[in-house]
Structure 1
Amino acid sequence: MSHKWLEWAKKIQSLSQAGLTFSKDVYDIERFEELRKISAEIMEEYTGLEMQKIKDLFTNETGYQTPKLDVRGVVFKDDKILMVREKIDDRWSLPGGFCDIGLSPKENIVKEIKEESGYDVIPTKLLALLDMNKHPHPPQPYHYYKLFIQCEIVGGYATVGVETKGIDFYFEDNLPNLSLNRNTESQIKLLFDFLRNSDKEAIID
Structure 2
Amino acid sequence: MEPQWIRWAKRIQALAQAGLTYATDPYDQERYRELRRIAVDMLATQCGLGSEAQRVSLEELFAGEAGYPTPKVDVRSVVFDGDRVLLVKERSDGRWSLPGGWADVGSSPSEMAAREVAEEAGYVVRPVRLLAVWDNSRHHDRPVAYAVYKICIACQLTGGQPRASIETEAVGWFAVEELPPLSPTRITAEQIRRLYRLYRDPSLPPEFD
Question: Pick from 81, 85, 89: which aligns with 1:81?
Answer: 85
Hey, what does 1:195 align to over in structure 2? 199
Q: Partners of 1:71 and 1:176 in 2: how far apart?
A: 21
Give the corresponding residue for 2:28.
28
Q: 1:124 aligns with which of 111, 114, 128?
A: 128
User: 1:53 maps to which residue?
Assistant: 57
Q: 1:109 aligns with which of 110, 113, 125?
A: 113
Q: Which residue does the alignment assign to 2:11? A: 11
CA contact (8 A) 1:137 1:184 kept: no
Q: Are positions 1:177 and 2:199 aligned together? A: no
Measure the CA separation in 2 of the matches of 1:151 and 1:2.
29
Q: Is 1:40–1:55's contact at 8 Å kept on the other side of the alignment?
A: yes
Displacement of 1:89 in angstroms is 1.1
For the Cα contact (< 8 Å) 2:140–2:185, is it kept in 1?
no
- Give the drift of 1:78: 2.9
1:2–1:140 distance in 2 versus 1, CA, 3 Å = closer
CA distance in 2, matches of 1:34, 1:165: 41
For the residues of structure 1 that align with 2:129 and 2:90, how far apart are their CA atoms?
A: 25
1:138 is aligned, of 114, 138, 142, to: 142
Q: Which moved more, 1:43-52 or 1:90-99?
A: 43-52
1:2 is displaced (CA, Å) by 5.1
Q: Deviations over 1:109-136 (max 9, x none)?
A: 1111111000111110000000111113
Which position in structure 1 is the counterpart of 2:40? 40
Percent identity between matched residues is: 43
Asked whether the equivalents of residues 131 and 199 of structure 2 are also in contact (C-alpha less than 8 Å), the reply is no
1:198 is paired with a residue whose SS is coil
State TM-score, norm by structure 1. Answer: 0.96
Q: Which amino acid aligns with 1:80?
A: R
Q: CA deviation at 1:196?
A: 2.3
- 1:137 Cα deviation from its structure 2 partner: 4.0
- Give the letter for the 1:20 counterpart: L
**What amino acid is the match of 2:99?**
P
SS for the counterpart of 2:177 is: helix
C-alpha RMSD of the superposition: 1.2
What does residue range 143-162 of structure 1 map to in structure 2 within 5 Å? 143-162=147-166
Instruction: Give unmatched runs, 5+ long, in structure 1.
Output: none
Whole-Å Cα distance in 2 between the matches of residues 2 and 129 of structure 1?
17
Aligned counterparts of 1:2 and 1:196: Cα–Cα separation in 2: 29
Q: How many Å apart are 1:163 and its aligned residue?
A: 0.8
**Take 1:127 and 1:137, find their aligned partners in 2: how far apart are those partners?**
22
Q: Which amino acid aligns with 2:40?
A: A
**Secondary structure of the residue that 2:79 maps to in structure 1?**
strand
Q: Could you list the runs of 5+ residues in structure 2 that have no partner in the other structure?
A: none
**C-alpha separation in 1, matches of 2:2 and 2:151:** 23
TM-score by length of 2: 0.94
